Amino acid sequence: MNTATKTAVSPQQPAGPARARRPAWQWPVIALAAVLGVYLVGRGAAELFIIHWSDPASYAGDWGGPSLAGVLAVHSGPALAIIGVAAWRLFHWRRTAGRRSLA
């Protein structure tokens, strides 16, 4: 038997499936989503400083008005949702990245 044609087989299996690259069409979608997310978070934060808390007439005509709770839900609710999802994704990414480095 010719030993030059034998190939060595690694006894270890790979830690997990290889991560696939994103298709090119996803990058513009991700960029637009990031811009929209930054806008919504900025708008939600700004709304807290723009409205006059003690004057219901200042926010009665806004979306979600005439109640303060409705205005804050419409303007700051998406910001809270985006921040919450981003925090969850960051936590999940860090947890899985740590697990991958230990393998």
Give CA angle at 76 (70, 79), nearest 5°. 145
pLDDT (tens place) for every residue of the chain, 103 residues total? 555 565 555 566 555 566 678 888 899 999 999 999 999 999 999 999 988 888 888 888 888 888 899 999 999 999 999 999 999 999 988 888 766 665 5
First-to-last alpha carbon distance for the chain, in angstroms, is 37
CA nearest 68: which of 83, 41, 47, 46?
47
- Does the global pTM surpass 0.85? no
